[in-house]
A = this chain, B = another copy of it.
Amino acid sequence: MSPAAETEAPWARRPKRADGRRNYDAILEAARVAFANRGTGASLEDIAKAAGVAIGTLYGHFPTRETLVEASVREQLDQLDQAATTLTEEDGDALGALTAWVRLAVEHCSTYRGLASFLAGSAHTAGAPLHHTGVIVHKAVAPLLAKAKEAGRIRADVTAEELYAVITAAAWTRENSPEQVDHSVRLLAFVTEGMAPQAG
C-alpha cells in the first residue's frame, strides 16, 4: 500500500486546477463557519452563497453532506492522531495519558452540533467518509489503552470499541449541554472510575 493510498481519500480530494482549489477552500471555510453556527445540518445553499460559488460547484467537490463534514474536521483529526503518539511515548501516568487523550477526542467529536450523530451513524459502515474517524480513534487509542492496562489502572476487558462508544456519547452530551455546565465532564469521570480494576 503506497503512502498516498493511506492519506488520500476517494472523496473530497483537493482539486489540481487553481480556480478549483480556490473554490474548494472557500467552500470548506464557509462550511466550518456555518457548521459552527448552525450545526452539521446547516443549509448547503447558504454555504455555497457564502463561499461565492454556485450550488453545483459545491456538489462537484462534495457529493454528499457527509463528505463536507468529514473534510471540515480532517485536519483536526490528524492532530488528534498525533497527540495519541506523543502521549503514548511519554513516561509517567498511563491512566492520565489515556484520560487526557479521551478528553481531546471528545472535544474533537463535539466540534459541531450534530457531528457526534454523524460519527455514530457511520461507525459501523465501512466506506463511509466519517468511518475513517472511528478507524483513527481505534488505532490511536489502542497503545494508550494497552499501557493503562499494563499499569493496572484499567480493567483488562475494556475494548477500544467500548471506549469509542464512550467518547461519542460524551461528545453528544457536550453538544447538548447548556453553556454554563458541561455534563460530559462528570459523565467521563464516572466512566473512568468505573473502568478501574478495583471497582466491581
Contacts and interface: CB of A to CB of B under 8 A. Distances in A.
Interface of A: 117, 120-121, 123-124, 161-162, 165-166, 168-170, 172-173, 176-178, 183, 186-187, 189-196, 198-200
A166 B178 contact: no
A121 B178 CA distance: 9
Nearest to A180: B124
Contact of A190 (B161, B166, B173, B177): B166
Nearest to A179: B124
A121 B161 CA distance: 27
B183 A162 contact: yes
A165 B178 contact: no
A81 B169 CA distance: 25
Contacts of A183: 161-162, 165
A117 to B, nearest CB: 7
Nearest first, the 8 closest Cβ-Cβ pairs linking A and B are: A190-B194, A193-B194, A194-B194, A120-B176, A165-B183, A193-B199, A190-B191, A169-B169
Nearest to A157: B186
A143 to B, nearest CB: 21
Nearest to A121: B176
B173 A187 contact: no
Given A117-B117, A192-B194, A194-B194, A187 B199 contact: no
Contacts of A194: 189-195, 199
A162 B191 contact: no
B199 A191 contact: no
A134 B193 CA distance: 26
Contacts of A120: 172-173, 176
A124 B180 CA distance: 11
8 contacts: A124-B178, A162-B183, A165-B173, A168-B176, A190-B195, A192-B194, A196-B199, A198-B199
